[in-house]
A and B are shown apart, each in its own frame.
Chain A
Amino acid sequence: GAVVSQHPSRVICKSGTSVKIECRSLDFQATTMFWYRQFPKQSLMLMATSNEGSKATYEQGVEKDKFLINHASLTLSTLTVTSAHPEDSSFYICSARDGTSGGADTGELFFGEGSRLTVL
């Protein structure tokens, strides 16, 4: 199946700093990527939908200025957590939908490995 690579897998930062997480589709073009956040023992929460070449669509309650999303190419989307605080500590996961006919027919999502952010 298609591969999505997410980096870094773990990051620890001080409160007030910014952290960038990258999500790459390695062997397919992803016109749409999704960013999720997952707190322990809770479900995935969709934060935003990232579309290549346009502004991301944020879910209700997600601060656009705090979680900056850039989808500059068909294979790369980045999430920047600005001025991070301890409450932003979470597991962040990206996913992408294969833009070829097979992936588009099923809507199957391919997930990155996830990034665990710890803000001290």
Chain B
Amino acid sequence: GQNIDQPTEMTATEGAIVQINCTYQTSGFNGLFWYQQHAGEAPTFLSYNVLDGLEEKGRFSSFLSRSKGYSYLLLKELQMKDSASYLCAPMDSNYQLIWGAGTKLIIKP
């Protein structure tokens, strides 16, 4: 079956760095997306990885290891507005995104 595993909740301090891990099992693989979702709002795109390695985009970076079925999202210089849920979503062989429940990130001053 298809499965996504992320921590349910994480807490970090403003200005710090946090890494949100994601392991997945899918039927085929066509890349992995990370989305940010604030409470009551729709998800917004953060990153897409299809090859192994690290993709850096400003304060956010995303890493992928296809052989391990593993990805992480790294957030640097945390700001209060980064408090949100972070959704790891791999794409299967049918180009369908598989959604997990996400990781709720709480930023404290």
Residues of A at the B interface (CB closer than 8 Å) are: 1, 6, 41-46, 49, 91, 93, 106-114, 116
Contacts and interface: CB of A to CB of B under 8 A. Distances in A.
A6 B43 CA distance: 13
11 contacts: A43-B100, A44-B87, A91-B40, A106-B50, A107-B31, A107-B97, A108-B48, A109-B45, A112-B42, A114-B40, A116-B40
Interface in B26-57: 30-31, 33, 40-45, 48, 50
A106 B43 contact: no
Contacts of B30: 107
A59 B97 CA distance: 13
A114 B42 contact: yes
A44 B99 contact: yes
Nearest to A1: B45
A40 to B, nearest CB: 9
Nearest to A41: B101
B91 interface: yes
A106 to B, nearest CB: 5
A106 B45 CA distance: 12
